[in-house]
Chain A
Amino acid sequence: MSATTSIRMDHLTRVEGHGRVDIRICEGRVEHCQWQVVEAPRFFEAMLRGRKWYEVAHVASRICGICSIGHTLASLKATEAAMGIKVSEQVVNLRKLLLHAENIQSHILHLGYLVLPDLFKVPSVIPLASTHTQQVLLAIRIHRLGNEMSTLLGGRTTHPQSAVVGGFARWPTPSDLSNLRSRLEAALSEGIALAQFIGEHSANVPAFQRETEYIALADPHEYAFYDGRIGSTEAGTFGVDEYRQVCNEYCVPQSTAKYTRHRRDSYMVGALARLNLNYPHLGPNARNVAAMFGLRPISHSPFMNNAAQMVELVHCVEDSIQRIDELLKNGVKPEKASFAVSAGRATGCVEVPRGILFHEYEYNPSGECVWANCVIPTNQNHANIQKDMEALVDQFKDRPADEIEFMVEMLVRAYDPCISCSTH
């Protein structure tokens, strides 16, 4: 092996957005190891200024194509909190279903199309469509279900239109919901089958862990996606409106996305953080899948984020079935929200596929947004990706360059980063 190993990846593939890796190992010592974010900033917080209360979620949704439902809901919650608008229980239930739809769609996209090729060392899912046709078709079926569920509840797969300030502009019918329910029943066994397949082919996942802080919404009654307090594995819980004390955003020269830190130099958000904080509230099938992967809180392996996504996918399916039963029992009654537009300032928070998301807005008395701040899951993960990369490269520095490169790619991919979203 040569004395100096240089690894440079200009555009890391099978991730959302533009990220770069620069590593130099010299005489058995890691001299340089950097995760860089080169995505073009779009300045969303500035662009939200001047938009009316009913346009803000539409603009904010465009932060991310993959988690547009989550951005829409965080945005609506911020606007509603700022104006003191209360939504009904059925609205909350339907929004939780809508978030599940996005989680199903996004997690299966990551696991089935972006992670699976690594397990078979192929460049993309395309060759797998010939070698593992049944499993690829299974992933596509679950992906389609996530998308059709989004369309049913949100009006579209991407950039939803039916979720609006105060509730919904269009409501699903009972027969829509019972059809969806039977599709979800089928997806439950399909999801478990896919989990088994992934578990059986995870031999080349590096044995690596590093202690860090995990932050996610936490709720005493359920696996928190839509409501709760900010939970930390190391520092208790905080109110959503205290998010700035938790995130502490700062700028670094190697990234157009801001970094964050809390108790340590970095923390992690996403499926693994949620599972570490919400494990007791997993559904029975999801818990079996967690056992299949040997996943129990607190897991400190970033690679286990993939397993946590698989667990959550099953949890979202089984929780959706329960929620639909509740909605069908009580009946969905289309309602027209009535509220007064007013001045105010508040924070909205939801869990999106890649982690905890905050939108904070200030409105003037005519309902125009005058100030905005958005803290994105992947921008909270960048510092942790950097720290993990340093530790991973140091642990495996004696391996050949292509092996290190492969492990680093897998590491970044395990975070399922949404890079353009993190820069926004």
Chain B
Amino acid sequence: MGKPTVAFFDFAGCEGDQLQVINLEEDLLHVLEMVEIVSFREAMKGHADTYDIAFVEGSVTRRSDEARLKEIRQHAKILVAFGSCATLGGINLLKNFQEPENVRRFVYGEHFFQYETYSARPLKAVVAVDAEIHGCPVSRREFKAVLTSLLLGKKPDVPNYPVCVECKMAENVCVFDQGMTCMGPVTRAGCEACCVTAGSFCWGCRGLVDDPNADAQREILSRNGLSLPDILKRFRLYMGFSEVSK
């Protein structure tokens, strides 16, 4: 029996998640000892029609792209939504809150009608998804952990506690104590609070934990000076899809 086959695909996105696979550096050679990559347009020529695991990056933003995603679903034993655009809709959701024709006209002027688009959505709005790796971009450590679980036939373990837990472990000074605001209290961990460690705050790119205390989050943001429209905007930066539909 050969090695399990893995394929990478992408829809609307920046390909920053697939880049993290290349960013595994020497470790990528170890990954290649365990699996055979049969399709990875960004890095290799050639393509296979079936694969055991498909990692799919990006969100769906055109009706005409649905057929390609459904085909990938058909050919994959396991489909993994790879990165925030795929798991949540990601930053692409920002256009969903503007009038669609205005969005197209603003970018393409009078030629707007040539450019097909619809509300950006995560993969799970179009096909069944077996596993999710959140993050903008994904964490290399988490990619390896999820891949290992899948190869062992286990369900990947996705943290269901907020970024604050990892932020404490990283020994960061709380963002609110530094006079900024943060989405860490409601955002799913797994990133090791990398943005706070880098001097910034949590933007919420990994989506909400399963049972977020959204009311307390709204209250703390408002207590720290954000107006209601600003709070809404902050939630919508990455998490706007749940508002539209599921």
Contacts and interface: CB of A to CB of B under 8 A. Distances in A.
Interface of A: 11, 13-18, 40-47, 49-52, 55, 58-59, 62-66, 68, 109, 113-114, 117, 123-126, 129, 137, 140, 143-144, 147, 154-162, 164, 168-170, 251, 253, 256, 258, 409, 420-421
Nearest to B39: A13
A123 B194 contact: no
A62 B58 CA distance: 12
A46 B107 contact: yes
Interface stretch (B74-82, B109-117, B121-129, B145-153): B109-117
Contact of A155 (B40, B102, B108, B198): B198
A14 B42 contact: yes
Contacts of A169: 198-200
Contacts of B15: 16-17, 65-66, 420
Nearest to A45: B107
Given A64-B14, A164-B200, A420-B15, A123 B45 contact: yes
B19 A14 contact: no
B25 A14 contact: no
11 contacts: A11-B41, A13-B41, A14-B42, A42-B95, A46-B107, A50-B233, A64-B16, A65-B18, A143-B25, A158-B20, A161-B200
Contact of A55 (B40, B46, B199, B237): B237
Interface of B: 10-20, 22-23, 25-26, 29, 32, 37, 40-46, 58, 61-62, 65, 90-92, 94-95, 98, 102-104, 106-109, 111, 114-115, 117, 120, 136-137, 194-195, 197-200, 203, 230, 233, 237
Nearest to B115: A41
B44 A13 contact: yes
B115 A161 contact: no
Given A46-B106, A59-B91, A421 B14 contact: yes
Contacts of B114: 251, 253
B94 A47 contact: yes
Given A14-B44, A43-B95, A46-B95, A161 B103 contact: no
Nearest to B28: A140
Given A147-B25, A159-B137, 11 more contacts: A13-B45, A14-B42, A46-B95, A59-B91, A65-B17, A123-B44, A124-B40, A125-B43, A147-B23, A161-B200, A421-B14
Q: Which 10 A-B pairs have the closest CB atoms?
A: A65-B16, A155-B198, A169-B199, A124-B44, A170-B199, A161-B198, A47-B94, A65-B14, A161-B200, A251-B111
A16 to B, nearest CB: 5
Nearest to B17: A65
Contact of B46 (A13, A46, A63, A168): A13
A45 B46 CA distance: 34
Contacts of A147: 23, 25
Contact of A62 (B44, B91, B109): B91
A156 B194 contact: yes
Given A46-B103, A129-B29, A253-B114, A65 B19 contact: yes
Given A13-B44, A14-B42, A49-B98, A140 B13 contact: no
Contacts of A123: 44-46
Contacts of A63: 14
B26 A251 contact: no
Contacts of A42: 12-13, 61, 92, 95, 120
Contacts of A124: 40, 43-46
Contacts of A154: 198
Given A43-B103, A169-B199, A140 B26 contact: yes
Main SS of the interface on chain A? loop
B198 A156 contact: yes
A43 B104 contact: yes
Contacts of A162: 198-200
Contacts of B94: 47, 51, 59
Nearest to B18: A65
Contact of B16 (A11, A68, A144, A164): A68
B14 A62 contact: yes
Nearest to A145: B25
B67 to A, nearest CB: 14
Contacts of A44: 107
Given A159-B16, A161-B199, A43 B44 contact: no
B42 A140 contact: no
Contacts of A168: 199
Nearest to B237: A55
A64 B42 CA distance: 14
B19 A155 contact: no
B197 A47 contact: no
A155 B45 contact: no
Contacts of A45: 106-107
A145 to B, nearest CB: 10
A44 B62 CA distance: 16
Contacts of B61: 40-42
A164 B109 CA distance: 32
A66 B117 contact: no
B37 A41 contact: no
A13 B65 CA distance: 19
Nearest to B98: A46
A46 B98 CA distance: 8
B108 A251 contact: yes
A41 B16 contact: no
Contacts of B115: 41, 256
Contacts of A143: 22-23, 25
Contacts of A117: 44-45
Contacts of B237: 55, 59
B19 A158 contact: yes
Nearest to B234: A55
